[in-house]
Amino acid sequence: MRIDPLSERRLASREAARETRREAITTEMAIKSDRWIRQQALQHKMIEPFSEKQVSAGVISYGLSSYGYDLRVSDEFKIFTNVNSAIIDPKAFDERSFVSVQAASVIVPPNSFALARSIEYFRIPRDVLTICVGKSTYARCGIIVNVTPFEPEWEGFVTLEISNTTPLPARIYANEGLCQILFFQSDEVCETSYADRKGKYQKQQGIVLPKL
């Protein structure tokens, strides 16, 4: 039986759609275990310094977990303030928006915000993407940590964003755990990495402010 041209085009379109779905199903990103994280850290310096086990005695825990790594916050902080009536503008950030503090712990004012940095330096493999989730100890105190994904071949110290969502002052402890990094590895290497496109936050040192 002869199929008219319109029907042939429809059949071809359906087959192409099915092929696209099959490709999507076969492309996976798997979360990586403690074994993989340890290997990458020790052999390829993915995390420096690296703690091979969870440290929790008397501190907010940090170090290697089953499927992630709890990073530590350093003793450098930038706490936002409205003393100078500055406007937050991501295209023209005014450094009068915050005060810099170096201390073993800091107080983030009610409904306010602070920047900090990680103690650890990260080097992300080309086929890996990370996401960050907050630690429950801080989350239960109304303290939210936001960190954008570490993209393939990004490296540097992490600039950490800490939000106090409560109407009360909140204390953050330096040299202790702040958030957990989860590592996802793709089954194929990306075409263009963060290093390839010379990302503006590549190899960042200290607390890096918004860049245009």
- pLDDT tens track for 2-55: 556 656 666 666 666 666 555 554 457 899 999 999 999 999 999 999 999 999
Q: What is the pLDDT of residue 127?
A: 97
CB-facing half-sphere around the CA of 12: CA atoms within 13 A: 7
Rounded to two decimals, the pTM is: 0.83
**Both structure tokens of 44:** 């390829």
Q: Measured on CA atoms in the order 112, 109, 156, 188, is the torsion positive or negative?
A: negative
What domains does the chain contain, in order, with CATH numbers? Answer: 29-186 (2.70.40.10)
Q: Which residues are catalytic?
A: 161
Residues of the chain scoring pLDDT < 50: 25-26
Q: What is the pLDDT of residue 25?
A: 47
Q: What is the pLDDT of residue 205?
A: 95
